[in-house]
């Protein structure tokens, strides 16, 4: 088992600044090369504090603001125009950055693309859903309407 400090959020594992124990292969082959984690050391305490301070600065300031944003996101269907071929099949797929940009263009606020999760790849036009983690304790569901760009 390897002891690591997470530098990015990893679904099902933890948030930035968390100290986790993972299997050696997972650490060596995925987390460290992708830049999601660094090896834990005695001097890492200062690094953990810096990561947690940056995380709290990026989080929405208060729970009330986050709940307001959640209500706005869940009440509105976000329209996303993407280049598509015959039969509504997209060229590529919808990415989290596309969703974050569409939410901003709709005037609903800014979202961190790293906090958005798409359950399965969106490769067709139509209605889809994604989730966004606004805070550690608050998750919102976004309704997305994918249409073919003219």
pLDDT above 90 (res 24): yes
CA gap 92, 18 in Å, rounded: 34
pLDDT band at 149 (very low <50, low <70, confident <90, very high): confident
Provide the pLDDT for residue 28.
92
> Per residue in 59-78, pLDDT tens?
655 677 788 888 888 888 99
Same-domain check for residues 54 and 97: no
pLDDT above 80 (res 46): no
Same-domain check for residues 84 and 122: yes
Same-domain check for residues 135 and 93: yes
In terms of Cα–Cα distance, which of 65, 133, 69 is closest to 107? 69
Provide the pLDDT for residue 128.
93
> Per residue in 71-115, pLDDT tens?
888 888 999 988 888 888 888 889 999 999 998 888 888 888 888
Q: For the chain, report the end-to-end CA distance as a whole number of angstroms.
A: 52
Number of domains the chain contains: 2
CA distances in angstroms from 119 to 18, 76, 81, 122, 149, listed in the order given: 24, 19, 20, 9, 23
Provide the pLDDT for residue 127.
93
Same-domain check for residues 54 and 67: no
Average pLDDT value over all residues in the chain: 85
- The alpha carbon dihedral of 136, 141, 147, 148 has a sign of positive
Q: Specify the length of the chain in residues.
A: 150
Same-domain check for residues 47 and 116: no
pLDDT band at 143 (very low <50, low <70, confident <90, very high): very high
Same-domain check for residues 92 and 48: no
CB 15 within 8 A of CB 136: yes
For residue 52, give its domain range.
2-58
The residues facing 131 across adjacent strands are 117, 141
Same-domain check for residues 43 and 106: no
The CATH number of the domain holding residue 120 is 3.10.430.100
Same-domain check for residues 122 and 67: yes
The CATH number of the domain holding residue 28 is 3.40.5.10
């Amino acid at each position: 088992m390897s002891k690591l400090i997470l530098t990015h959020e990893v679904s099902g594992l933890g948030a930035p600044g968390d100290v986790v124990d993972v299997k050696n292969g997972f650490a060596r082959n995925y987390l460290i090369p992708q830049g999601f984690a660094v090896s834990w050391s005695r001097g890492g305490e200062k690094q953990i504090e810096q990561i947690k301070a940056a995380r709290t600065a990026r989080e929405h300031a208060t729970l009330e603001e986050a709940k307001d944003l959640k209500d706005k996101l869940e009440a509105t269907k976000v329209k996303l125009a993407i280049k598509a071929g015959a039969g509504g099949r997209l060229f590529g797929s919808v990415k989290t950055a596309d969703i974050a940009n569409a939410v901003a263009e709709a005037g609903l606020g800014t979202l961190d693309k790293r906090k958005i999760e798409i359950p399965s790849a969106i490769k067709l036009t139509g209605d889809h859903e994604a989730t966004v983690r606004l805070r550690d304790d608050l998750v919102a569901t976004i309704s997305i309407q994918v249409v073919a760009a003219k």
